[in-house]
Structure 1
């Protein structure tokens, strides 16, 4: 095939809040060697997407406009020569998960290495929100050495990463205590965890739920309350892992996952294919809401305001 096609894509035209997001039409070239084009069916929304244009990582205007999104699902519509992904050759018509920058779009040109087979058990919206959160949960569980017989405390257990961490820990044979907003406790119980509410008295409630002690803690909430309780109930600080409270982790001797850590990145990449085998059976995905691509700013406002139970997804 020759020539090019167009796509609508979401970009940040400046640094700031969701109001800086805009839709632009851009050209998508035909794939070169080792590349594929994917027609996007759904794109996952993550807190990192907002941090990227908020100024949290700097405000170098030469990087504008910023293309947003890092995970999506879709159908391969064109392939270049030697287009081989982690699971083998990629072909036109393949249903896939894409892990690449600029995923808030109708169509995306990516390296074949960024393309994974979409599990049949997942719909488009679920598939778009699966791989990054599952890999993050896996990274945390590995760092904390979660294994059969452990009692594991998971903060933010109803959220996108937290809910998958609950399911993964249970799959490993651990008992799980999950903290959540009171309105989400039933959802945490439905996953198979013992649910306890955030707020005053959390330490006492956790100790009541775990009379024999807590072996490890996974923090996806990042609040001082979550960290304080974890430090109080877990004796071995190397078995406390956070994905948000990086400063306290460095100061107080427990572990953090992500945040540019090369070891975390390597673990998550290695886990991509094995985690696909767990999708839809061991690990399910909760879609908290869907938004048209043109309403990406609304999705970001909602994400910052409501901390949803599950993932927000954009649908082109």
Structure 2
């Protein structure tokens, strides 16, 4: 089948001004691959950092570059050997080719899992990166019943999932967030604490018996805050401050090259379908408004996920 489709592209590192939506040749699935018509594709801070060139030492780029990992959609074409999928299947998945922000995407079949009907397209399309990061971070600090865990940026895309997963593990969870997000946190059994000046004392007041683990989803001094609270380095995880991780020896799970795969995605989707996990959707934009979507994301005050709907 021939034709064209639309996809996000950029030709050089830079700010949102380098982003555009191009007409590209219709992708063709190879062996073990399927073509997915994308219904929703999440956007993430890591993609903005890659586009800006800040992570070129970890994720080298060739131009023109596409963008995006998260996706959910309908299988449009099946390549040879992709026997686990059929045309018309509704799927959730991820691309490692920076290509999900497009109308049509070729995806390895083993990076897809069925989308439960109870999970909306927007939630499914924004699930993988934030969900895998939250899953990896919570599992790396090993919260247990009776323990206290602090999560920074607790109402953000990753933080909002991390607090729920840590609560499911039986821990008491303190979520650092702006006052406008405190009601949502409290509604999910989280002790809400305002971030900013004086946060160390506010956390100590909320956790008089101390803090056992710390998950940093924001960066900018939270690793040092965790150390000041007396949290052991092996129970501090940051997904954002790799310089601090290198300096102090704290964890960076799941790490840029070790994200959990389709099995974890399926487990997260099942939790959502069963009503045990909520993925807040902050906003949905059409593909043509990719610049506006990243403008909102880069303000870093989003409650939950921002999603593109091609």
Per the normalisation by structure 2, the TM-score is 0.93
Aligned to 1:80: 79
Residues 14-93 of structure 1 aligned to structure 2 (within 5 Å): 14-58=12-56, 63-84=62-83, 89-93=84-88
Aligned to 2:304: 310
Deviations 1:240-290 (A, max 9, x none): 110111111221232222453x4x33x456523332321242221111001
- Check if 1:233 corresponds to 2:232: no
- Check if 1:255 corresponds to 2:251: yes
How many residues are aligned here?
Answer: 306
* 3-state DSSP of counterpart to 1:15: coil
Deviations 1:32-77 (A, max 9, x none): 3322111111110101111122111339998111100111111111
Aligned partners of 2:247 and 2:61: how far apart in 1? 34
Aligned partners of 2:261 and 2:159: how far apart in 1? 16
Deviation at residue 81 of structure 1 after TM alignment: 2.5
Does the aligned pair in 2 maintain the 1:9–1:106 contact within 8 Å? yes
Does the aligned pair in 2 maintain the 1:234–1:240 contact within 8 Å? no
Q: Which runs of 5+ in 1 are unaligned?
A: none
Does the aligned pair in 2 maintain the 1:13–1:65 contact within 8 Å? yes
Cα RMSD (Å) of the superposition? 1.9
* 3-state DSSP of counterpart to 2:158: helix
Deviation at residue 229 of structure 1 after TM alignment: 2.4
Aligned partners of 1:251 and 1:188: how far apart in 2? 31
Change over 3 Å in CA distance of 1:268–1:140 after alignment to 2: farther
Residues 1-316 of structure 1 aligned to structure 2 (within 5 Å): 3-58=1-56, 63-84=62-83, 89-100=84-95, 101-224=98-221, 226-260=222-256, 262=257, 264-265=258-259, 267=260, 271-280=264-273, 281-316=275-310
Change over 3 Å in CA distance of 1:304–1:29 after alignment to 2: closer
* 3-state DSSP of counterpart to 2:77: strand
Aligned partners of 1:92 and 1:103: how far apart in 2? 18
